Amino acid sequence: MAHFVLVHGAWHGAWCWQRVVAALAGRGHRVHAVTLTGLGDRAHLLSPLITLETHIADVMQTLVAEELEDVVLAVHSYAGMLGTAVADRMPERLRHLVYVDAVVPKPGESWSSTHASATREARLAAAQGSADFSFPPPDPAVFGLQAADHAWVKRRQTPHPGHTYQAPLQFDPARVAAIPRTFVDCVRPPLGTIDVIRQRVRDPRFWEGAWVGGGGARVTELATGHDPMISDVENLVKVLLAAAEDA
């Protein structure tokens, strides 16, 4: 039995992992899907007080409260910031870190650092114009979702806490890289805000060479959009199970 902790990205909640949770639990594994403060079923807690550190604590506290070790930690999109922080601060708890079409920062970068200036400006303007300093979700069509899946995600997405967007993260790349890592590159269609990241994880110089060292890193492409936990459950589950099998 393996232990999986699944962390959603911006605008989502634990709900987005429902199909993956069912598939993994059905194979006898222990699975926890985290909802970050202010999102999903915790949207009633949305406030300007939520920061990047709030969300890092959400994930770390799940590991502590559930007494989890040897964990496969899968982080989606924005939550790549959180997974990187947890790997830096609690490496002894992790077996494998899976970045699901996720942000992989350099030390000192924020989630917004690799985004186009127009994207940054639009999100910050929206946050500043809101009562709770949040910015609204995009149309799920940008994630490659259609029909019932598109409708399901559209009605469940919620605004994202704005103070998580430009907060820098300091970490030791060598410590994070000591943990085996997989980057899941969702290429059909590719999400533009991940373009810089998909180039980084193929660059042997990334993290001054640490990315390809330590516990080792691999890149797996899925012919689906940015929400593979919805649009390509079978293949994403295969990736997660392969991560759990790593020695």
The residues carrying an active-site annotation are: 77
Residue 121: burial class (beta carbons within 10 Å; 0-12, 13-18, 19+): exposed
Residue 52: burial class (beta carbons within 10 Å; 0-12, 13-18, 19+): buried
CA distances from 144 to 103, 149, 226, 227 (A): 18, 10, 7, 8
- β-sheet with 181-186: strand ranges across: 30-34, 3-7, 71-76, 94-100, 181-186, 217-222
Q: Which residue(s) pair with 219 in the sheet? A: 183
